[in-house]
Chains A and B, each alone.
Chain A
Amino acid sequence: MRAGGCFEMSTPPKMTKITIDGKELEVPPGTTVIQAGLMAGIEIPHFCWHPDLAVDGNCRMCLVEIEKMAKLQIACNTVVSDGMVVRTTSEKAVQAHRTTLEFLLVNHPIDCPVCDQAGECYLQDQYMEHGLHDSKIQPEEKVRKRKVVDLGPIMLDAERCVLCSRCLRFEAEVTHTNSFEFVNRGDHTQISTFENRPITHNYAGNLADVCPVGALLSHDFRFKMRVWFLEATESVCTGCSTGCNIFIDHRDGEAQRLRPRRNVEVNKSWMCDIGRREYKEIALDTRVTGARIKGASGWEDASNVSALDVLADRLEAAGAASAFLATPQASNEDLFAFRTLAERVGGMLDFRVGDPQDKVRVLEDGVLLRADRNPNTQGCLDQGLGRTGVKEILAACAAGKVKVLVLEGPELLRQPEAMDAVAKVPFVAVMATHEEPILERAHLVVPAAMWAETDGTFTNYQRRVQRFRRAFAGPGSATPRWELTARVLKRLGAPLAAGSTREVFALLAKAVADYAGLDHRSVGAGGRALTPRPGDVATQEARA
């Protein structure tokens, strides 16, 4: 410390100036060269480095030339310093990339035609970009390792492995399960689980994602589709209240797989296997594809509009003798439309079937999965949908005071203890996505679109509003819930002043104080955290 001067602890850290491939940029101190490169839009080739895993520096692919350093340095473990000049495409660096690749490919089987990773394989991409050397090794000379090893949700092919240890680090740092280890030495090194035991934890799908090559592949996606046929749509997982950011990979209107979309604030690069399986619900042949009304002689098919008009007329007649149960499966837009309908009719309103609000922030396994398996319980709470109380509504039903019961989702019908009360209601309308025996208890069923088939926002456990987008159309006449609700409102003579989810959200932002100033554009791809309220996320998170 100099005389007269002192450390100013409060000032923000001085930015470090560096030059990468002629681009000058300022990055926070402590950034590694590979991260700085990504900030400047320069991707330095790598295998073992992963933005959400510890630096290992074993693959030697990210070698770059740095001025005033005698040897090439690995970009992933070299911290920037002021005035550093980095070259990633100089002759020396490119030669290093080629040499590294040649070593990696010495024992690689090059079975791209049968490998599911083809198309999203780092090795394949880097070879096309940097390698392009003729192999000096004949196929017969290569070291053979184990192929087609079934590890439950994951298929292992040790021959394809580049020994980057990403899977080892994922197991060590994220799930703390340490399933994988390197066995043998030298050329014969390969990854293996102990006694080939299957992977049993709930995050196995991420192993296939972190693997830069085709050594670990998803069993579910095996041989299903070549990845270049897939179209990716940004979405949010509906498996629980965590709201992991995901991509829906789909082709010809059919979801083929879900994979995590990186969001440092929510799920980093991970998602759980329960969430990954959510897409299977979409294409089931038990989807409700058309509206129907229970008449004197049983179910009669109807168009959505005519069915909803019947509901509207019933609601008009019932007035306050009606009850509305929203669902935490629905988007904020759906909920807002539903709330508007309930307020217009003047009926009872709630959503807390099975008390999801108590579980919103309860972390089940210490990683991502939360006990509340609804994506939007927080949105319901924010919009104040928990009003009358489910018990009170059921009591009113049992007392015959409810003439029309409108269910935004079939949750209540799944509660055996609610059945006696529901049976007393003369008219039960339900928006359903899937056929279930319990729908027999309703008098009117309208087909609702699922999350992949509509636009909207969910609010996750952190009170973070996140946008999901429509990937493809729903089956039959399945329609987003807010549109169904808007039709009823129109018939009631109070049409919703919105024709799209964006406009519904604008109405919502006006009506709900916490959402003021937000719109779909400002929510964006990464979501927007709402201003925390006292005793909100952090405190409750710690308690959980």
Chain B
Amino acid sequence: MAARVVTVNRDTKPGIYPVLVGMAITLKNMLKTMFGGGAATVQFPEQKRKTSGRYRGIHILTQREDGTPKCVACYMCATACPAECIYIEAGERPEATIEKYPTRFEIDLLRCVYCGFCVDACPEEAIFMSRENDLVGTTRAELIIDRDRLMERAKLVEYGPGYRPTDHDVRRPVRIAALERLKHEHGIVLGPPTR
């Protein structure tokens, strides 16, 4: 296949016309942003971007009624995790209704790829994701977040829930109870995931 050769004469002066065209585009966009509404940028961190109802942000561990983690340390999330960022140590739950619970549950947020596989893998609906996404720290160590940090409710209220088990299993009594509790205690209503 023969290539088409285009010869450009660089010696001719372009003149003012192309500059004016460029300036016109810039001016148009400036006016659109100022008066037409709809700037593409936001004033972070004062202003937050709107994120989807299934946004995959920092993880949340759900709680039982007594405030202990719902997690039973089955290691399903750690097994599914492609980034190997979940570290769990299991221990004996003091009251022996459900024997096992995580004495340590840590997620290395710098390793995490926010794929949400842990949420999909969890058989207990113990882990889901919030829409929190501003990940700031001065050392690597402080971005390995532990069980207590993962169980903080305030963050969830502030940012809202993100990716969580899909609604096909809403029938399950466990899930209904969890939803009711969330609504009752934190005023969060989890409808079907919205975009």
Contacts and interface: CB of A to CB of B under 8 A. Distances in A.
Physical interaction between A and B: yes
Interface of A: 112-114, 118, 147-148, 222-224, 226, 228-229
Interface string B61-90: 000000000001111100100000000001
Interface size on B, as a range, is 10 to 19
Interface of B: 72-76, 79, 90-92, 96, 98-100, 123-124
B102 to A, nearest CB: 10
Given A113-B123, A226-B79, A228-B79, A148 B96 contact: yes
Given A113-B76, A223-B73, A223-B92, A147 B124 contact: no
Contacts of A223: 73, 90-92, 100
B74 A114 contact: yes
Given A223-B90, A223-B91, A226-B79, A113 B96 contact: no
A147 B123 contact: no
A226 B75 CA distance: 7
B97 to A, nearest CB: 9
Contact of B124 (A113, A118, A224): A113
**Most interface-central of A148, A222, A223 (chain B CB within 10 A):** A223
A6 B99 CA distance: 68
Main DSSP-derived SS at the B contact region = loop
Main DSSP-derived SS at the A contact region = loop
A114 B75 CA distance: 9
A113 B124 CA distance: 9
Contacts of B79: 226, 228-229
A222 B73 CA distance: 12
A147 B99 contact: yes
Contacts of B92: 222-223
7 contacts: A113-B100, A114-B72, A114-B98, A114-B100, A148-B99, A223-B90, A226-B79
Nearest to B93: A114
Contacts of B91: 223
**Most interface-central of A112, A222, A226, A228 (chain B CB within 10 A):** A226
Contacts of A148: 96, 99
B90 A113 contact: no
Nearest to A157: B99
A66 to B, nearest CB: 40
Given A223-B92, A228-B79, A113 B74 contact: yes
A16 to B, nearest CB: 45
Nearest to A118: B74
Given A112-B74, A118-B74, A147-B96, 19 more contacts: A113-B72, A113-B74, A113-B76, A113-B100, A113-B123, A114-B73, A114-B74, A114-B99, A114-B100, A147-B99, A148-B96, A148-B99, A222-B92, A223-B73, A223-B92, A224-B90, A226-B79, A228-B79, A229-B79
Contacts of B123: 113
Contacts of A114: 72-74, 98-100
B77 to A, nearest CB: 11
Contacts of B90: 223-224
B192 to A, nearest CB: 25
A148 B124 CA distance: 21
Contacts of B74: 112-114, 118, 226
